[in-house]
Structure 1
Protein backbone atom coordinates (compact mmCIF):
# COMPACT_ATOMS: atom_id res chain seq x y z
CA UNK A 1 0.00 0.00 0.00
CA UNK A 2 2.84 2.38 0.86
CA UNK A 3 4.51 1.60 -2.48
CA UNK A 4 1.31 2.34 -4.36
CA UNK A 5 0.90 5.61 -2.49
CA UNK A 6 4.45 6.65 -3.32
CA UNK A 7 3.93 5.74 -6.96
CA UNK A 8 0.75 7.81 -7.08
CA UNK A 9 2.58 10.77 -5.58
CA UNK A 10 5.40 10.44 -8.09
CA UNK A 11 2.90 10.24 -10.96
CA UNK A 12 1.03 13.30 -9.68
CA UNK A 13 4.30 15.22 -9.41
CA UNK A 14 5.23 14.19 -12.94
CA UNK A 15 1.85 15.30 -14.26
CA UNK A 16 2.17 18.58 -12.37
CA UNK A 17 5.63 19.11 -13.82
CA UNK A 18 4.42 18.34 -17.34
CA UNK A 19 1.47 20.69 -16.85
CA UNK A 20 3.72 23.52 -15.67
CA UNK A 21 6.08 22.89 -18.58
CA UNK A 22 3.19 23.03 -21.05
CA UNK A 23 1.96 26.28 -19.48
CA UNK A 24 5.42 27.81 -19.85
CA UNK A 25 5.68 26.62 -23.45
CA UNK A 26 2.25 28.00 -24.32
CA UNK A 27 3.12 31.24 -22.57
CA UNK A 28 6.24 31.50 -24.71
CA UNK A 29 4.27 31.57 -27.97
CA UNK A 30 4.04 35.08 -29.49
CA UNK A 31 0.38 34.88 -30.39
CA UNK A 32 0.26 38.32 -32.01
CA UNK A 33 3.14 37.47 -34.37
CA UNK A 34 1.63 34.03 -35.01
CA UNK A 35 -1.76 35.47 -35.98
CA UNK A 36 -0.08 38.13 -38.11
CA UNK A 37 2.03 35.49 -39.88
CA UNK A 38 -0.98 33.33 -40.72
CA UNK A 39 -2.93 36.38 -41.89
CA UNK A 40 0.03 37.68 -43.90
CA UNK A 41 0.63 34.35 -45.63
CA UNK A 42 -3.07 34.00 -46.45
CA UNK A 43 -3.40 37.58 -47.70
CA UNK A 44 -0.28 37.50 -49.86
CA UNK A 45 -1.24 34.09 -51.29
CA UNK A 46 -4.71 35.37 -52.25
CA UNK A 47 -3.36 38.61 -53.67
CA UNK A 48 -0.57 37.00 -55.68
CA UNK A 49 -2.45 33.93 -56.91
CA UNK A 50 -5.75 35.57 -57.78
CA UNK A 51 -4.08 38.73 -59.09
CA UNK A 52 -1.88 36.75 -61.46
CA UNK A 53 -4.81 34.85 -63.01
CA UNK A 54 -7.03 37.95 -63.11
CA UNK A 55 -4.39 39.95 -65.01
CA UNK A 56 -4.14 37.17 -67.59
CA UNK A 57 -7.92 37.19 -68.03
CA UNK A 58 -7.91 40.98 -68.42
CA UNK A 59 -5.47 40.76 -71.31
CA UNK A 60 -7.71 38.15 -72.97
CA UNK A 61 -10.78 40.41 -72.64
CA UNK A 62 -8.95 43.41 -74.09
CA UNK A 63 -7.52 41.44 -77.01
CA UNK A 64 -10.84 39.83 -77.93
CA UNK A 65 -13.23 42.76 -77.49
CA UNK A 66 -11.58 46.16 -77.10
CA UNK A 67 -8.24 46.21 -78.89
CA UNK A 68 -7.98 44.15 -82.04
CA UNK A 69 -4.55 45.50 -83.06
CA UNK A 70 -1.71 44.09 -80.87
CA UNK A 71 0.36 47.27 -81.20
CA UNK A 72 -2.35 49.27 -79.42
CA UNK A 73 -2.07 47.30 -76.20
CA UNK A 74 1.56 46.19 -76.44
CA UNK A 75 2.66 48.52 -73.62
CA UNK A 76 -0.20 47.35 -71.39
CA UNK A 77 0.78 43.74 -72.02
CA UNK A 78 4.38 44.47 -71.02
CA UNK A 79 3.23 46.24 -67.85
CA UNK A 80 0.97 43.33 -66.87
CA UNK A 81 3.77 40.82 -67.48
CA UNK A 82 6.05 42.96 -65.29
CA UNK A 83 3.41 43.01 -62.56
CA UNK A 84 3.16 39.24 -62.73
CA UNK A 85 6.91 38.92 -62.18
CA UNK A 86 6.67 41.38 -59.28
CA UNK A 87 3.96 39.16 -57.79
CA UNK A 88 6.39 36.22 -57.74
CA UNK A 89 8.95 38.34 -55.88
CA UNK A 90 6.37 39.59 -53.37
CA UNK A 91 5.27 36.07 -52.52
CA UNK A 92 8.84 34.91 -51.88
CA UNK A 93 9.82 38.02 -49.89
CA UNK A 94 6.84 37.97 -47.55
CA UNK A 95 7.20 34.25 -46.95
CA UNK A 96 10.74 34.79 -45.66
CA UNK A 97 9.94 38.05 -43.88
CA UNK A 98 6.99 36.53 -42.03
CA UNK A 99 9.16 33.64 -40.78
CA UNK A 100 11.86 36.07 -39.60
CA UNK A 101 9.38 38.23 -37.69
CA UNK A 102 7.81 35.14 -36.13
CA UNK A 103 11.24 33.94 -35.02
CA UNK A 104 11.97 37.34 -33.50
CA UNK A 105 8.65 37.20 -31.68
CA UNK A 106 9.60 33.87 -30.12
CA UNK A 107 13.00 35.24 -29.12
CA UNK A 108 11.71 38.32 -27.33
CA UNK A 109 8.71 36.79 -25.56
CA UNK A 110 8.79 37.32 -21.82
CA UNK A 111 8.13 33.64 -21.13
CA UNK A 112 11.25 32.72 -23.08
CA UNK A 113 13.27 35.07 -20.90
CA UNK A 114 11.91 33.32 -17.83
CA UNK A 115 13.01 29.95 -19.19
CA UNK A 116 16.50 31.24 -19.91
CA UNK A 117 17.76 33.10 -16.89
CA UNK A 118 20.89 34.24 -18.73
CA UNK A 119 18.93 36.10 -21.38
CA UNK A 120 20.96 39.14 -22.40
CA UNK A 121 20.62 41.73 -25.09
CA UNK A 122 23.33 43.25 -27.25
CA UNK A 123 23.58 46.46 -29.23
CA UNK A 124 23.45 44.41 -32.43
CA UNK A 125 20.25 42.69 -31.33
CA UNK A 126 18.58 45.99 -30.49
CA UNK A 127 19.66 47.47 -33.83
CA UNK A 128 18.21 44.49 -35.70
CA UNK A 129 14.95 44.80 -33.77
CA UNK A 130 14.81 48.54 -34.54
CA UNK A 131 15.45 47.80 -38.20
CA UNK A 132 12.48 45.41 -38.23
CA UNK A 133 10.29 48.14 -36.70
CA UNK A 134 11.30 50.62 -39.41
CA UNK A 135 11.01 48.11 -42.26
CA UNK A 136 7.59 46.92 -41.10
CA UNK A 137 6.29 50.49 -40.95
CA UNK A 138 7.59 51.14 -44.49
CA UNK A 139 6.00 47.93 -45.79
CA UNK A 140 2.72 48.82 -44.08
CA UNK A 141 2.59 52.19 -45.83
CA UNK A 142 3.56 50.58 -49.14
CA UNK A 143 0.84 47.95 -48.83
CA UNK A 144 -1.74 50.64 -48.19
CA UNK A 145 -0.86 51.86 -51.68
CA UNK A 146 -1.06 48.32 -53.06
CA UNK A 147 -4.49 47.90 -51.46
CA UNK A 148 -5.71 51.12 -53.07
CA UNK A 149 -4.23 50.13 -56.43
CA UNK A 150 -5.89 46.69 -56.29
CA UNK A 151 -9.28 48.38 -55.85
CA UNK A 152 -8.97 50.12 -59.25
CA UNK A 153 -9.64 47.04 -61.44
CA UNK A 154 -12.49 46.06 -59.11
CA UNK A 155 -14.04 49.49 -59.74
CA UNK A 156 -13.63 49.17 -63.52
CA UNK A 157 -15.11 45.68 -63.67
CA UNK A 158 -17.93 46.71 -61.35
CA UNK A 159 -18.89 49.56 -63.70
CA UNK A 160 -19.05 47.11 -66.58
CA UNK A 161 -21.02 44.56 -64.60
CA UNK A 162 -23.51 47.15 -63.30
CA UNK A 163 -24.10 48.44 -66.84
CA UNK A 164 -24.84 44.92 -68.05
CA UNK A 165 -27.13 44.31 -65.07
CA UNK A 166 -29.03 47.53 -65.82
CA UNK A 167 -29.60 46.41 -69.42
CA UNK A 168 -30.92 43.03 -68.28
CA UNK A 169 -33.18 44.51 -65.62
CA UNK A 170 -36.91 43.93 -66.41
CA UNK A 171 -37.77 47.35 -64.98
CA UNK A 172 -35.47 49.18 -67.39
CA UNK A 173 -37.32 50.81 -70.30
CA UNK A 174 -34.58 50.89 -72.91
CA UNK A 175 -35.56 51.54 -76.51
CA UNK A 176 -32.04 51.63 -77.94
CA UNK A 177 -29.58 49.23 -76.31
CA UNK A 178 -26.81 50.28 -78.69
CA UNK A 179 -26.72 53.70 -77.04
CA UNK A 180 -25.41 52.11 -73.81
CA UNK A 181 -21.65 51.65 -74.07
CA UNK A 182 -18.57 51.04 -71.97
CA UNK A 183 -15.46 52.75 -73.31
CA UNK A 184 -12.29 51.49 -71.63
CA UNK A 185 -10.19 54.12 -73.43
CA UNK A 186 -11.43 56.78 -71.02
CA UNK A 187 -9.68 54.98 -68.17
CA UNK A 188 -6.30 55.20 -69.87
CA UNK A 189 -5.94 51.43 -70.19
CA UNK A 190 -5.52 51.58 -73.96
CA UNK A 191 -4.86 54.61 -76.22
CA UNK A 192 -7.68 56.54 -77.90
CA UNK A 193 -6.54 55.26 -81.27
CA UNK A 194 -7.34 51.66 -80.30
CA UNK A 195 -10.22 50.00 -82.16
CA UNK A 196 -12.98 49.39 -81.33
CA UNK A 197 -12.12 50.68 -77.84
CA UNK A 198 -15.69 50.36 -76.60
CA UNK A 199 -18.53 47.84 -76.45
CA UNK A 200 -22.21 48.69 -76.78
CA UNK A 201 -25.58 47.00 -76.42
CA UNK A 202 -25.74 43.28 -76.99
CA UNK A 203 -21.98 43.11 -77.56
CA UNK A 204 -21.41 44.46 -74.07
CA UNK A 205 -23.90 41.96 -72.68
CA UNK A 206 -22.04 39.11 -74.39
CA UNK A 207 -18.75 40.29 -72.85
CA UNK A 208 -20.27 40.26 -69.37
CA UNK A 209 -21.44 36.68 -69.95
CA UNK A 210 -18.00 35.37 -70.88
CA UNK A 211 -16.10 33.18 -68.45
CA UNK A 212 -13.05 35.47 -68.66
CA UNK A 213 -15.02 38.46 -67.41
CA UNK A 214 -16.81 36.56 -64.64
CA UNK A 215 -13.62 34.90 -63.40
CA UNK A 216 -11.42 38.00 -63.61
CA UNK A 217 -13.99 40.18 -61.83
CA UNK A 218 -14.30 37.86 -58.85
CA UNK A 219 -10.57 37.14 -58.72
CA UNK A 220 -9.84 40.87 -58.56
CA UNK A 221 -12.25 41.13 -55.63
CA UNK A 222 -10.48 38.28 -53.82
CA UNK A 223 -7.07 39.80 -54.62
CA UNK A 224 -8.22 43.13 -53.16
CA UNK A 225 -9.43 41.33 -50.05
CA UNK A 226 -6.05 39.58 -49.81
CA UNK A 227 -4.26 42.93 -50.00
CA UNK A 228 -6.50 44.22 -47.21
CA UNK A 229 -5.70 41.17 -45.07
CA UNK A 230 -1.98 41.79 -45.64
CA UNK A 231 -2.37 45.40 -44.50
CA UNK A 232 -4.06 44.20 -41.29
CA UNK A 233 -1.27 41.64 -40.78
CA UNK A 234 1.37 44.34 -41.18
CA UNK A 235 -0.45 46.54 -38.66
CA UNK A 236 -0.29 43.67 -36.16
CA UNK A 237 3.38 43.19 -37.03
CA UNK A 238 3.95 46.92 -36.36
CA UNK A 239 2.57 46.58 -32.85
CA UNK A 240 4.45 43.32 -32.23
CA UNK A 241 7.82 44.58 -33.47
CA UNK A 242 7.43 47.85 -31.55
CA UNK A 243 6.69 45.88 -28.39
CA UNK A 244 9.64 43.56 -29.03
CA UNK A 245 11.97 46.54 -29.46
CA UNK A 246 10.67 48.08 -26.24
CA UNK A 247 11.25 44.80 -24.39
CA UNK A 248 14.84 44.60 -25.64
CA UNK A 249 15.50 48.22 -24.73
CA UNK A 250 14.03 47.78 -21.26
CA UNK A 251 16.05 44.61 -20.72
CA UNK A 252 19.26 46.37 -21.73
CA UNK A 253 18.61 49.14 -19.19
CA UNK A 254 17.82 46.53 -16.54
CA UNK A 255 21.12 44.78 -17.25
CA UNK A 256 23.02 48.06 -16.94
CA UNK A 257 21.35 48.85 -13.61
CA UNK A 258 22.19 45.42 -12.18
CA UNK A 259 25.85 45.85 -13.11
CA UNK A 260 26.13 49.02 -11.05
Structure 2
Protein backbone atom coordinates (compact mmCIF):
# COMPACT_ATOMS: atom_id res chain seq x y z
CA UNK A 1 0.00 0.00 0.00
CA UNK A 2 2.87 2.37 0.76
CA UNK A 3 4.38 1.74 -2.64
CA UNK A 4 1.24 2.96 -4.36
CA UNK A 5 1.29 6.42 -2.81
CA UNK A 6 4.22 7.88 -4.81
CA UNK A 7 2.70 6.68 -8.07
CA UNK A 8 -0.70 8.13 -7.26
CA UNK A 9 0.92 11.41 -6.20
CA UNK A 10 2.89 11.60 -9.46
CA UNK A 11 -0.27 10.97 -11.47
CA UNK A 12 -2.12 13.69 -9.57
CA UNK A 13 0.73 16.15 -10.17
CA UNK A 14 0.73 15.29 -13.86
CA UNK A 15 -3.04 15.84 -14.05
CA UNK A 16 -2.66 19.19 -12.29
CA UNK A 17 0.07 20.25 -14.73
CA UNK A 18 -2.13 19.29 -17.68
CA UNK A 19 -5.07 21.24 -16.22
CA UNK A 20 -2.91 24.29 -15.55
CA UNK A 21 -1.44 24.05 -19.02
CA UNK A 22 -4.92 23.85 -20.51
CA UNK A 23 -6.04 26.96 -18.62
CA UNK A 24 -2.91 28.83 -19.72
CA UNK A 25 -3.39 27.89 -23.34
CA UNK A 26 -7.06 28.85 -23.10
CA UNK A 27 -6.14 32.27 -21.69
CA UNK A 28 -3.54 32.80 -24.42
CA UNK A 29 -6.12 31.85 -27.04
CA UNK A 30 -8.67 34.25 -25.58
CA UNK A 31 -6.14 37.07 -25.41
CA UNK A 32 -5.12 36.36 -29.00
CA UNK A 33 -8.72 36.85 -30.14
CA UNK A 34 -9.08 40.30 -28.55
CA UNK A 35 -9.17 43.11 -31.17
CA UNK A 36 -6.72 45.41 -29.40
CA UNK A 37 -6.90 48.08 -32.12
CA UNK A 38 -10.69 48.25 -31.82
CA UNK A 39 -10.40 48.25 -28.02
CA UNK A 40 -8.02 51.22 -28.06
CA UNK A 41 -10.24 53.08 -30.53
CA UNK A 42 -13.30 52.38 -28.34
CA UNK A 43 -11.60 53.69 -25.20
CA UNK A 44 -10.45 56.80 -27.07
CA UNK A 45 -13.93 57.33 -28.54
CA UNK A 46 -15.66 56.94 -25.17
CA UNK A 47 -13.18 59.31 -23.52
CA UNK A 48 -13.53 61.95 -26.24
CA UNK A 49 -17.32 61.81 -26.31
CA UNK A 50 -17.50 61.92 -22.50
CA UNK A 51 -15.23 64.97 -22.35
CA UNK A 52 -17.12 66.76 -25.11
CA UNK A 53 -20.59 66.03 -23.76
CA UNK A 54 -19.88 66.53 -20.06
CA UNK A 55 -17.72 69.63 -20.34
CA UNK A 56 -19.82 71.11 -23.14
CA UNK A 57 -23.04 70.75 -21.12
CA UNK A 58 -21.62 72.49 -18.05
CA UNK A 59 -19.89 75.18 -20.13
CA UNK A 60 -23.14 76.07 -21.93
CA UNK A 61 -24.92 76.45 -18.60
CA UNK A 62 -22.15 78.72 -17.31
CA UNK A 63 -22.31 80.82 -20.49
CA UNK A 64 -26.03 81.44 -20.05
CA UNK A 65 -25.47 82.41 -16.42
CA UNK A 66 -22.71 84.85 -17.37
CA UNK A 67 -24.83 86.47 -20.10
CA UNK A 68 -27.82 86.82 -17.77
CA UNK A 69 -25.76 88.40 -14.99
CA UNK A 70 -23.57 90.79 -16.99
CA UNK A 71 -24.66 91.35 -20.59
CA UNK A 72 -28.47 91.06 -20.78
CA UNK A 73 -30.67 92.03 -17.89
CA UNK A 74 -33.97 91.59 -19.77
CA UNK A 75 -35.05 87.97 -20.13
CA UNK A 76 -36.66 88.49 -23.54
CA UNK A 77 -33.32 89.65 -24.98
CA UNK A 78 -31.57 86.36 -24.31
CA UNK A 79 -34.59 84.04 -24.57
CA UNK A 80 -33.38 82.81 -27.96
CA UNK A 81 -29.98 82.05 -26.48
CA UNK A 82 -31.59 79.98 -23.72
CA UNK A 83 -33.61 78.00 -26.28
CA UNK A 84 -30.54 77.34 -28.42
CA UNK A 85 -28.54 76.22 -25.40
CA UNK A 86 -31.32 73.83 -24.34
CA UNK A 87 -31.46 72.37 -27.85
CA UNK A 88 -27.68 71.92 -27.86
CA UNK A 89 -27.83 70.20 -24.48
CA UNK A 90 -30.49 67.77 -25.75
CA UNK A 91 -28.29 67.09 -28.77
CA UNK A 92 -25.43 66.38 -26.38
CA UNK A 93 -27.61 63.81 -24.57
CA UNK A 94 -28.38 62.13 -27.89
CA UNK A 95 -24.74 62.12 -28.97
CA UNK A 96 -23.66 60.53 -25.69
CA UNK A 97 -26.27 57.75 -25.91
CA UNK A 98 -25.68 57.07 -29.61
CA UNK A 99 -21.91 56.82 -29.39
CA UNK A 100 -22.08 54.65 -26.28
CA UNK A 101 -24.09 52.09 -28.27
CA UNK A 102 -22.14 52.62 -31.50
CA UNK A 103 -18.80 52.09 -29.76
CA UNK A 104 -20.01 48.81 -28.27
CA UNK A 105 -21.31 47.68 -31.69
CA UNK A 106 -17.99 48.51 -33.38
CA UNK A 107 -16.09 46.67 -30.65
CA UNK A 108 -18.33 43.62 -31.15
CA UNK A 109 -17.78 43.89 -34.91
CA UNK A 110 -14.05 43.97 -34.21
CA UNK A 111 -14.33 40.70 -32.25
CA UNK A 112 -16.28 39.16 -35.13
CA UNK A 113 -13.87 40.19 -37.86
CA UNK A 114 -10.82 39.24 -35.77
CA UNK A 115 -12.24 35.74 -35.31
CA UNK A 116 -13.06 35.55 -39.00
CA UNK A 117 -9.55 36.57 -40.05
CA UNK A 118 -7.85 34.18 -37.62
CA UNK A 119 -10.02 31.25 -38.75
CA UNK A 120 -10.22 31.95 -42.48
CA UNK A 121 -8.40 28.71 -43.25
CA UNK A 122 -10.58 26.53 -41.03
CA UNK A 123 -14.27 25.72 -41.08
CA UNK A 124 -15.28 29.31 -40.35
CA UNK A 125 -17.10 30.87 -43.30
CA UNK A 126 -17.94 34.51 -43.80
CA UNK A 127 -21.38 35.30 -45.18
CA UNK A 128 -22.50 37.92 -47.65
CA UNK A 129 -24.59 39.54 -44.90
CA UNK A 130 -21.54 39.83 -42.65
CA UNK A 131 -19.48 41.48 -45.37
CA UNK A 132 -22.32 43.87 -46.18
CA UNK A 133 -22.60 44.83 -42.51
CA UNK A 134 -18.85 45.50 -42.38
CA UNK A 135 -19.09 47.68 -45.50
CA UNK A 136 -22.04 49.54 -43.97
CA UNK A 137 -19.99 50.27 -40.82
CA UNK A 138 -17.16 51.62 -42.99
CA UNK A 139 -19.54 54.02 -44.75
CA UNK A 140 -21.33 55.07 -41.54
CA UNK A 141 -18.05 55.67 -39.69
CA UNK A 142 -16.82 57.78 -42.58
CA UNK A 143 -19.97 59.95 -42.42
CA UNK A 144 -19.71 60.26 -38.64
CA UNK A 145 -16.05 61.24 -38.97
CA UNK A 146 -16.99 64.08 -41.29
CA UNK A 147 -19.73 65.12 -38.87
CA UNK A 148 -17.31 65.18 -35.95
CA UNK A 149 -14.90 67.30 -37.96
CA UNK A 150 -17.71 69.86 -38.16
CA UNK A 151 -18.39 69.49 -34.42
CA UNK A 152 -14.69 69.97 -33.70
CA UNK A 153 -14.68 73.19 -35.73
CA UNK A 154 -17.90 74.38 -34.09
CA UNK A 155 -16.53 73.69 -30.59
CA UNK A 156 -13.52 75.89 -31.37
CA UNK A 157 -15.78 78.95 -31.82
CA UNK A 158 -16.59 79.50 -28.10
CA UNK A 159 -12.94 78.86 -27.27
CA UNK A 160 -12.01 81.69 -29.64
CA UNK A 161 -14.63 84.04 -28.14
CA UNK A 162 -13.59 83.36 -24.56
CA UNK A 163 -9.93 83.66 -25.54
CA UNK A 164 -10.61 87.16 -26.87
CA UNK A 165 -12.16 88.13 -23.55
CA UNK A 166 -9.26 86.52 -21.70
CA UNK A 167 -6.65 88.45 -23.69
CA UNK A 168 -8.65 91.67 -23.34
CA UNK A 169 -8.67 91.28 -19.58
CA UNK A 170 -4.95 90.59 -19.72
CA UNK A 171 -4.43 93.79 -21.71
CA UNK A 172 -6.18 95.77 -18.96
CA UNK A 173 -3.53 94.69 -16.47
CA UNK A 174 -0.78 96.06 -18.70
CA UNK A 175 -2.50 98.75 -20.84
CA UNK A 176 -0.88 100.01 -24.00
CA UNK A 177 0.80 103.42 -23.68
CA UNK A 178 -1.37 105.24 -26.24
CA UNK A 179 -4.57 104.45 -24.35
CA UNK A 180 -5.66 107.24 -22.08
CA UNK A 181 -7.92 105.11 -19.92
CA UNK A 182 -8.53 101.46 -19.16
CA UNK A 183 -12.25 102.15 -19.51
CA UNK A 184 -11.74 102.32 -23.28
CA UNK A 185 -11.11 98.56 -23.34
CA UNK A 186 -14.47 96.84 -23.92
CA UNK A 187 -15.97 93.54 -24.99
CA UNK A 188 -19.27 93.68 -26.88
CA UNK A 189 -20.88 90.23 -27.13
CA UNK A 190 -23.62 91.60 -29.41
CA UNK A 191 -21.23 91.58 -32.35
CA UNK A 192 -20.98 87.79 -32.07
CA UNK A 193 -24.74 87.34 -32.47
CA UNK A 194 -25.19 85.88 -28.99
CA UNK A 195 -27.76 88.50 -28.05
CA UNK A 196 -29.57 91.10 -30.22
CA UNK A 197 -28.20 94.59 -30.78
CA UNK A 198 -30.92 96.19 -28.67
CA UNK A 199 -29.92 94.18 -25.59
CA UNK A 200 -28.81 96.20 -22.59
CA UNK A 201 -26.04 96.68 -21.64
CA UNK A 202 -24.64 94.29 -24.27
CA UNK A 203 -21.03 95.12 -23.51
CA UNK A 204 -18.65 95.44 -20.57
CA UNK A 205 -15.76 97.86 -20.17
CA UNK A 206 -13.02 98.69 -17.71
CA UNK A 207 -13.41 97.43 -14.18
CA UNK A 208 -16.73 95.75 -15.03
CA UNK A 209 -15.00 93.59 -17.64
CA UNK A 210 -12.21 92.81 -15.20
CA UNK A 211 -14.77 91.65 -12.63
CA UNK A 212 -16.41 89.40 -15.23
CA UNK A 213 -13.07 87.77 -16.07
CA UNK A 214 -12.55 87.03 -12.37
CA UNK A 215 -15.90 85.28 -11.95
CA UNK A 216 -16.09 81.51 -11.59
CA UNK A 217 -18.58 81.26 -14.49
CA UNK A 218 -16.11 82.75 -16.95
CA UNK A 219 -13.04 80.89 -15.70
CA UNK A 220 -14.80 77.52 -15.53
CA UNK A 221 -16.65 77.89 -18.84
CA UNK A 222 -13.50 78.96 -20.69
CA UNK A 223 -11.49 75.95 -19.57
CA UNK A 224 -14.40 73.55 -20.03
CA UNK A 225 -14.80 74.72 -23.62
CA UNK A 226 -11.11 73.97 -24.18
CA UNK A 227 -11.51 70.46 -22.76
CA UNK A 228 -14.69 69.91 -24.81
CA UNK A 229 -12.85 70.94 -27.97
CA UNK A 230 -10.03 68.54 -27.10
CA UNK A 231 -12.62 65.79 -26.55
CA UNK A 232 -14.10 66.44 -29.99
CA UNK A 233 -10.61 66.20 -31.49
CA UNK A 234 -10.01 62.89 -29.66
CA UNK A 235 -13.29 61.56 -31.04
CA UNK A 236 -12.25 62.50 -34.57
CA UNK A 237 -8.98 60.60 -34.09
CA UNK A 238 -10.90 57.60 -32.71
CA UNK A 239 -13.26 57.55 -35.71
CA UNK A 240 -10.31 57.74 -38.11
CA UNK A 241 -8.77 54.83 -36.21
CA UNK A 242 -12.07 52.94 -36.47
CA UNK A 243 -12.24 53.67 -40.20
CA UNK A 244 -8.79 52.19 -40.82
CA UNK A 245 -9.63 49.10 -38.76
CA UNK A 246 -12.98 48.54 -40.47
CA UNK A 247 -11.51 49.01 -43.95
CA UNK A 248 -8.69 46.55 -43.20
CA UNK A 249 -11.06 43.97 -41.71
CA UNK A 250 -13.43 44.29 -44.66
CA UNK A 251 -10.55 43.73 -47.06
CA UNK A 252 -9.46 40.65 -45.10
CA UNK A 253 -12.98 39.27 -45.10
CA UNK A 254 -13.28 39.85 -48.83
CA UNK A 255 -9.96 38.09 -49.42
CA UNK A 256 -10.96 35.19 -47.17
CA UNK A 257 -14.23 34.84 -49.06
CA UNK A 258 -12.39 34.81 -52.40
CA UNK A 259 -9.98 32.18 -51.11
CA UNK A 260 -12.90 30.07 -49.91
CA UNK A 261 -14.60 30.31 -53.30
CA UNK A 262 -11.38 29.37 -55.11
CA UNK A 263 -10.85 26.43 -52.77
CA UNK A 264 -14.41 25.23 -53.32
CA UNK A 265 -14.02 25.50 -57.11
CA UNK A 266 -10.77 23.52 -57.04
CA UNK A 267 -12.31 20.92 -54.75
CA UNK A 268 -15.35 20.61 -57.00
CA UNK A 269 -13.14 20.10 -60.08
CA UNK A 270 -11.03 17.51 -58.25
CA UNK A 271 -14.12 15.63 -57.13
CA UNK A 272 -15.50 15.71 -60.65
CA UNK A 273 -12.23 14.43 -62.11
CA UNK A 274 -12.09 11.68 -59.47
CA UNK A 275 -15.62 10.62 -60.32
CA UNK A 276 -14.74 10.56 -64.02
CA UNK A 277 -11.68 8.39 -63.35
CA UNK A 278 -13.71 6.02 -61.21
CA UNK A 279 -16.46 5.78 -63.83
CA UNK A 280 -13.92 5.08 -66.59
CA UNK A 281 -12.25 2.45 -64.43
CA UNK A 282 -15.58 0.73 -63.84
CA UNK A 283 -16.34 0.81 -67.56
CA UNK A 284 -12.93 -0.73 -68.32
CA UNK A 285 -13.45 -3.51 -65.81
CA UNK A 286 -16.89 -4.21 -67.21
CA UNK A 287 -15.50 -4.41 -70.75
CA UNK A 288 -12.79 -6.91 -69.70
CA UNK A 289 -15.32 -9.04 -67.87
User: Normalised by the size of structure 2, how large is the TM-score?
Assistant: 0.84
- The worse-fitting range, judged by mean Cα deviation, of 10-19 and 23-32 is 10-19
CA RMSD of superposed structures (Å): 2.0
TM superposition shift of 1:204:
0.1
TM superposition shift of 1:114:
3.5
Is residue 2:241 matched to residue 1:228? no
Correspondence for 1:41 among 39, 46, 57: 46
Cα distance in structure 1, aligned partners of 2:165 and 2:258: 61
Aligned counterpart, 1:246: 251
Indicate if the aligned counterparts of 2:117 and 2:256 stay in contact, CA closer than 8 A. no
Aligned counterpart, 1:147: 152
TM superposition shift of 1:220:
0.7
Unaligned 5+ residue runs, structure 1? none
Aligned counterpart, 2:32: 27
1:100-115 pair list within 5 angstroms: 100-110=105-115, 113-114=118-119
- The worse-fitting range, judged by mean Cα deviation, of 38-47 and 243-252 is 243-252
Q: Residues 137-162 of structure 1, C-alpha deviation per residue, up to 9 Å, x if partnerless?
A: 11011101101110110111111011
Aligned counterpart, 2:76: 71
Unaligned 5+ residue runs, structure 2? 1-5, 266-289
Aligned counterpart, 2:282: none
Cα distance in structure 2, aligned partners of 1:115 and 1:25: 17
1:92-131 pair list within 5 angstroms: 92-110=97-115, 113-114=118-119, 117-131=122-136
Cα distance in structure 2, aligned partners of 1:56 and 1:72: 17
Cα distance in structure 2, aligned partners of 1:123 and 1:186: 56
Q: What SS is found at the alignment partner of 2:187?
A: strand
Q: What SS is found at the alignment partner of 1:137?
A: helix
Cα distance in structure 2, aligned partners of 1:119 and 1:72: 65
- The worse-fitting range, judged by mean Cα deviation, of 66-75 and 20-29 is 66-75
Correspondence for 1:157 among 162, 181, 193: 162
- The worse-fitting range, judged by mean Cα deviation, of 31-40 and 111-120 is 111-120
Q: What SS is found at the alignment partner of 2:126?
A: coil
Cα distance in structure 2, aligned partners of 1:117 and 1:95: 34
> Which structure has the higher relative contact order (CA within 8 Å, separation 6+)?
1
Q: What SS is found at the alignment partner of 1:182?
A: strand
User: Normalised by the size of structure 1, how large is the TM-score?
Assistant: 0.93
TM superposition shift of 1:2:
4.5
Indicate if the aligned counterparts of 1:28 and 1:112 stay in contact, CA closer than 8 A. no
Indicate if the aligned counterparts of 1:154 and 1:221 stay in contact, CA closer than 8 A. yes
Cα distance in structure 1, aligned partners of 2:107 and 2:13: 41
Correspondence for 2:219 among 210, 214, 217: 214
* Greater radius of gyration (CA): 2
Aligned length: 259
Indicate if the aligned counterparts of 1:113 and 1:119 stay in contact, CA closer than 8 A. no
Indicate if the aligned counterparts of 2:37 and 2:245 stay in contact, CA closer than 8 A. yes
Q: Residues 66-96 of structure 1, C-alpha deviation per residue, up to 9 Å, x if partnerless?
A: 1222222222221111101000000000000
Q: What SS is found at the alignment partner of 2:229?
A: helix
